[in-house]
Amino acid sequence: MDSPFGLLAELTYRCPLACPYCSNPLNMAGYQDELTTDEWRRVLAEASELGVLQCHLSGGEPLLRRDLGEIVAHAHDVGLYTNLITSALGLSRSKAEELRAAGLDHVQISIQADEPTVSDRIAGTPSFQRKIEAMGVVKELGWPLTMNVVLHRHNIDRVADVLALAEDVGADRLELANTQYYGWAWRNRDALLPSRAQLEAAEVVVRAARERLRDRMDVIYVIPDYYSRFPKPCMGGWASRQLTVTPNGDVLPCPAAQPLPLPRASVRDEPLERIWAESPIMTAFRGTDWMPEPCRSCYRRELDFGGCRCQAFLLTGDAARTDPVCYLSPDHDLVVRAVEAANADSRSDDPPLIPRPHRPGLPAIAPPQGRRGGRGHQG
């Protein structure tokens, strides 16, 4: 593709939850200088001109931006389909009605488990009941509702009950996403990685539910990388279909690329179109010419594109290596050892989970309209 069709707009990394599987970057202090309302308006207009069709409003918690309604309205005005990805803490009826009037098209609400005590423990704060109430508001206002549950060692055994909860709240789509090990999830990998027996049991339940619910609910099951024979395609190919704009204006090919040692590109310095077409972070692994062996001569090189560059970097220190998830990778033993540890008979107690910080010191307001960080770019 010559242009992306999806934009992940990470409006803020502030969040009222402390989920240990969060993929947000570890150095959240580096993202406090958030784009202003006017800067987001310009980014959204440039994204539309670039060919983007879908805009996913995420974070952190996007509801902590008091200008969220204005951002949604502008995205609607420039022709983008908008999806709010939220913990739903802060999605009151009045806020929901404001966003509905602004033109928001879809709501995706995360929940940590089907049972209040388990869900609140994983989230790091009482939140389950507020999420359920918010889902009710979403359905009452006529939005399509996606319920998202990140699966891991501490909740995957409850997948049947999670499916029942999705039915109860009237979800149109349920996303069961096995944890991807970036950010805080990378730090907590040993405590989060499920056993093979847990995965096999969950997959039986999910397959049966997909068949039973096929006319009422889309059930999406994101398989876990570490148990796969081949790696997942890297966002459909590095900088091929999607792009991410972080709270401070950095542009990335995917939301997990912050740690990679590549030159940064910012919407505060350059137009989005130029960044997409020319910036080193977008062109570094685009296509197949960069590939080493065994990827270069592999028949799957245009199916999985060598796997995930961010995962390769975290596991090997080299973003250009074959993703170690692939059984053909020379580094596959790194994944094999992690899986063996998760399935060890001697394993009795799980390592303690490290919660993601809430960042409570940051105010829940949009930055003043006139303030800019670095070199501002008027559009």
What's the pLDDT at 360?
41
Count Cβ neighbours within 10 Å for each residue of 190-223 and write b for 16 or more, e otherwise: ebbbbbeebbebbeebbeebbeebeeebebebee
Task: Judge if pTM exceeds 0.85.
Answer: yes
What is the 8-class DSSP label of residue 23?
-
Contact 257, 313 (CB under 8 A): no
List phi, psi (to 5°) of 344. -65, 135
Please check if 22 is assigned to a binding site: yes
Please check if 19 is assigned to a binding site: yes
List phi, psi (to 5°) of 151. -95, 145
What's the pLDDT at 235?
80
What's the pLDDT at 359?
54
What's the pLDDT at 354?
79
> What three-state secondary structure class fits 6?
strand
Cβ-in-10-Å burial (0-12, 13-18, 19+) of 170 comes to: middle
User: Residue 307 corresponds to which amino acid?
Assistant: G
Q: How far apart, in whole angstroms, are the C-alpha atoms of residue 33 and residue 64?
A: 14
Nearby residues of 344 by Cβ (< 8 Å), 6 or more positions away: none
What's the pLDDT at 232?
86
Which residues in the chain show pLDDT less than 50?
360-379
Distance of CA 216 to the CA centre of its chain: 25
What's the pLDDT at 290?
94
What's the pLDDT at 372?
29
Contact 110, 86 (CB under 8 A): yes
What's the pLDDT at 64?
97
